[in-house]
Amino acid sequence: MASVNQLRQAVWHFRSGGLEQLREFKLRARHNTWSGRQISVVEQVLGVAFPVLRKPTFVEFELPRPVAASPHIRVGVILDDFSRAGFDWEWTCVPLSPGVEEGDLLALELDFIFIESAWDGNGGSWKYKLLGSGGPSEEVRSLIRLANSLEVPVALWNKEDPPHYEDFLPLARLCDFVFTTDSNMIPRYTADLGHDRVDALPFAAQPKLHNPVRERRGWHDRDVAFAGMYFSHKYPERRKQMEMMLPGAVAACQAERTTFDIFARASRGKKEYQFPDDLQKHVLGELNYAQMLGAYKRYKVFLNVNSVVDSPTMCSRRVFEMTAAGASVVTAPSPAIEALFEPKELSVVSTTEDTTHQIRALLRNPSYAARQVHRAQRRIWREHTYGKRAQQIMAALGVTNSSSAKSPTISVVVPSIRPQQLTHVLEGIAAQKEVSVQLVYGAHGFNLDKAHFHSRCDALGLENATAVLLPENMSLGECLNTLVSHATGDFVAKWDDDDVYAPWYLHDQVMALYYSGASVVGKRAHYVRLNGLGATVIRNSAFEHRFTHFVAGPTLLGRREVFEVNPFLAVTTGEDTAFLRSVLSSGGTVYASDRFNYCQIRQADSNDHTWKISANELLATSEVAFYGDSVEQIFV
């Protein structure tokens, strides 16, 4: 219950700044917390946090309605709910039913059929029909015969390899192409099938579902969790990993006075599925998939064990999903973990003591955890999404996808009154990784030798560059609109000539725009280098991965049409804020991404900047993050 003082403060904020300021006050108040929960008065006085003993409840994550990236690609599918949720965002997935007739299949105009090794695919309509003592059912065989007659390729994805290789081998013999989660099985498939149309297809994350976008409440309000069944009668290697890791988690949470929860199917019933007695008090029962998607964002740390311990490609789908959602993953070692992720992306442990130390390190050091998660998420966005898997499947089947042929371009608009900063600008943009860039540079109030400009761009590999001469009396807003009018890219990014942008900056921001679905992304939590003091501060540290009404002007990024429809006002100060208000008032959204890979630079003299604010004023509303070189601290 709010105190009288809190209510008075809320009323004051509402009167001073309306609903926007009231919302910000409430959000800041929620961040006066330990472990993401509100601190009691007694805890504040004593300076300690008491453990939370109440059993948590988990609401179902509201799955957004999928919008396929390639809607013209029509795929007949037999999938479980998890895979369907992922691939629905890539193709127009058409669930097939048993008994489909030739005319019906022809009318569907399918590009191919994709069958997963599901026990009860498509909501149970294919339950036990894909395998059995006699092999696939007649409904399955009939479907594949019809597909063959219509020259529609059929692919199988066996995610149950290697333990259920033999179960799904009869179905594999009927399909044109076979994908397996375990690359070790490829030679065996090749020998048994008599062809080499076999490839590895690991699990993945779907950024539209598995992402770090934070809900208003509940972000990291729990501490450590494990999701998975216990088998006392099979999978001995997996059980050995659990017996190593789970006691380590218990010890870590006892030492830190934090929560440890276990989610498992069949947590009650048959004895062989029961967790050991000393772990029973941590077992909360089962969460359905929609609830688990929400749980991913409530826990700081998730544990992972591996059922297959010798595969370079097979690890659980939860590794990708949990990490993408923002949880730190502590995992037992396996060749797949080593092959699919780089060091410093996941916490790999081999002993109980190591597990305890790693969990405590992650709980005690949010910055360390955030950097590790950010690196792992980038790995997923680059290599392990359903979009990447969909491209691999289509390439293997010879299906042409015109929508993925062109790589999107980012038009970076840089208005500058400082010709001495040109080298800094060019080097920063040329260093950007895995993005296609158009540079639109505005020389504001000074002459620029365009031939020399293009020569310098060519030397740095900036082949797509435009220089625009802007008159000295033109406002900053008008300068920006002029540069946007010269932009030809899919996206526009605003760039300040004296700030520091890390090599992964644009890549990460475009991904944030994609998974958030926002109109504009930027940084609200961000670093500021105070050159006069030799210190770097962090501003708005609580505002990461949230929808908001404000982000820093030098970090604005959105689709080009957003900037065209919402032009900047003809002013030199406040043009960014007015732009954001225009976007919001027209029904758009603004998303504040992470704090990394950007640093605003403030000189000792505030007159060197358009934004007139002193170092002391910045310090009064920021937190000192570190002194010295900023690159190692900010670049992730």
| Structural domain includes residue 399 | no
Same domain, yes or no: 373 and 419: no
| Structural domain includes residue 515 | yes
Same domain, yes or no: 53 and 95: no
Same domain, yes or no: 526 and 493: yes
Q: Looking at the predicted structure, is the pLDDT value of residue 403 above 60?
A: yes
CATH number at residue 379: 3.40.50.2000
What span, in angstroms and rounded, lies between the C-alpha atoms of 336 and 128? 29
Burial bucket for residue 480 (CB in 10 Å: 0-12, 13-18, 19+): buried
Q: Looking at the predicted structure, is the pLDDT value of residue 497 above 80?
A: yes
What span, in angstroms and rounded, lies between the C-alpha atoms of 420 and 95? 60
Tell me the per-residue pLDDT of 168-212, one tens digit each, with 9 for 90 and over.
999 999 999 999 999 999 999 999 999 999 999 999 999 999 999
Residue in this structure with the two tokens 């009154």, named with its chain if needed: 417
Residues 6+ apart with CB under 8 A from 474: 444, 482
Same domain, yes or no: 76 and 53: no
What span, in angstroms and rounded, lies between the C-alpha atoms of 374 and 40? 31
Burial bucket for residue 94 (CB in 10 Å: 0-12, 13-18, 19+): middle
| pLDDT value at residue 34 | 35
Give the pLDDT band (50/70/90) at residue 20: low
| pLDDT value at residue 630 | 77
Instruction: Determine the average pLDDT of the residues in 89-112.
Output: 96
Same domain, yes or no: 296 and 417: no
C-beta separation of 136 from 174 below 8 A? yes
Give the pLDDT band (50/70/90) at residue 516: very high
> Domain limits at 258?
49-58+214-387
Same domain, yes or no: 327 and 363: yes
Same domain, yes or no: 193 and 225: no
Same domain, yes or no: 159 and 250: no
Give the pLDDT band (50/70/90) at residue 623: confident
C-beta separation of 611 from 572 below 8 A? no
Same domain, yes or no: 135 and 54: no
Task: Dig out the tokens for 105 from the structure.
Answer: 């299949």
What span, in angstroms and rounded, lies between the C-alpha atoms of 566 and 584? 10
Instruction: Determine the average pLDDT of the residues in 356-374.
Output: 98
What span, in angstroms and rounded, lies between the C-alpha atoms of 193 and 393? 19
Same domain, yes or no: 186 and 239: no
Lowest mean pLDDT among 9-13, 161-165, 599-603: 9-13
Burial bucket for residue 547 (CB in 10 Å: 0-12, 13-18, 19+): middle
DSSP letter for 179, please: E
Tell me the per-residue pLDDT of 222-270, one tens digit each, with 9 for 90 and over.
999 999 999 888 889 999 999 999 999 999 999 999 999 999 976 556 8
| pLDDT value at residue 9 | 63
| pLDDT value at residue 37 | 41
CATH number at residue 524: 3.90.550.10
The model's pTM is: 0.89
